[in-house]
């Protein structure tokens, strides 16, 4: 079994959990390769044993990997998606941070959970992505022109609203007068979109949600559409340009640039333990059903 490991940051007191993760993988005699820049971070901090720091590294993934371990929070998983891309490698999210909504494994149960996964005791949750193209073409988008959570347009360098002219499959929908617009997948419905009043959507649902950001036209509400729709946006405002974000990646676009958003031709595989579920995650991490009276 060949496993890749990636992390972005070294959280305080996280060395004990990282050590447990790597020890568990070595116990199963797996071929473990660490992203080169993450190994550099580990070496700069104390608390990780020398045998771990001598592990091999990788710069790019290929289809020979069986699993990809993402150590950190949801932001680290989103970054992991840019490495896995369309290779179909299942991602194991290990939460070493705080909320970790997308993470499969919590740091408190890391050894047991890894043992189960390496024995094949897991299921795959397929997650849809969104792809974007612009006219004129933007050099910063390729080849990472996709997002797992959302693609959003936001105002830049101004307190004034922007106008987001929106079409669905070529038919005019509306023009949002707002701070911006979020186009989110079901996976992203519990992120930025949720904080702007969007609905929670089960990841197995074949849909996309359009969520305006602080709309001035008060009748504008989040709108759930089928994921085979093509969403076309044209943004204008008092400034000459605006921001477009793809998960955590940001590009600056000129006014009147035409943005086309579609469902990506590939999906991401997230590893999930059989006794976990989306509903259980809502109760545990978003505290659904919490009531001091019960």
Residues belonging to the active site: 74
Helix (H, G, I), strand (E, B) or coil at 15: helix
Report the alpha-carbon distance of residue 28 to residue 212 in Å, rounded: 48
Q: Among 146, 165, 154, which residue's Cα sits nearest to residue 258?
A: 165
Report the alpha-carbon distance of residue 5 to residue 35 in Å, rounded: 6
Q: Among 52, 95, 37, which residue's Cα sits nearest to residue 70?
A: 95
Instruction: Measure Cα distances from 38 to 72, 74, 78 in Å.
Output: 11, 16, 16
Q: For residue 20, what is the DSSP state?
A: H
Exposed / middle / buried, residue 113 (Cβ in 10 Å: 0-12, 13-18, 19+): buried
Is the separation of the CB atoms in 186 and 128 below 8 Å? yes
Q: State phi, psi for 20 to the nearest 5 degrees.
A: -60, -40
Is the separation of the CB atoms in 157 and 271 below 8 Å? no
Residue whose pair of structure tokens reads 């943005």 in the numeric block: 259
Q: Taking the CB of residue 57, how many other CB atoms lie within 10 A of it?
A: 14
């Amino acid at each position: 079994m060949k496993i890749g490991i990636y992390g972005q940051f070294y959280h305080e007191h996280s060395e004990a959990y990282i050590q447990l993760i790597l020890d568990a993988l070595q116990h199963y005699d797996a071929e473990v390769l660490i992203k080169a820049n993450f190994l550099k971070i580990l070496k700069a901090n104390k608390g990780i044993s020398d045998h771990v720091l001598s592990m091999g590294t990788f710069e790019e993934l290929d289809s020979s990997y069986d699993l990809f371990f993402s150590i950190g929070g949801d932001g680290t998983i989103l970054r992991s998606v840019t490495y896995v891309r369309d290779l179909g490698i299942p991602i194991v999210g290990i939460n070493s941070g705080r909320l970790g909504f997308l993470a499969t494994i919590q740091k408190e149960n890391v050894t047991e959970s890894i043992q189960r996964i390496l024995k094949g005791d897991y299921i795959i949750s397929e997650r849809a992505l969104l792809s974007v193209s612009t006219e004129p073409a933007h050099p910063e988008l390729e080849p990472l022109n996709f997002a797992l959570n959302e693609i959003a347009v936001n105002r830049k360098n101004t307190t004034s609203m922007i106008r987001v002219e929106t079409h669905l499959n070529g038919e005019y929908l509306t023009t949002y007068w707002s701070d911006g617009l979020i186009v989110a997948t079901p996976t992203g419905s519990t992120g930025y979109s949720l904080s702007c009043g969007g609905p929670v959507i089960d990841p197995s649902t074949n849909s996309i949600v359009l969520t305006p950001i602080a709309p001035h036209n008060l009748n504008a509400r989040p709108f759930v559409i089928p994921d085979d729709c093509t969403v076309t946006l044209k943004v204008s405002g008092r400034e000459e340009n605006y921001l477009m974000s793809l998960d955590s990646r940001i590009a600056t676009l000129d006014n009147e640039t035409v943005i086309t958003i579609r469902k990506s031709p590939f999906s991401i595989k997230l590893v999930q333990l059989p006794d976990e579920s989306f509903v259980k995650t809502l109760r545990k991490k978003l505290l659904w059903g919490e009531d001091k009276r019960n």
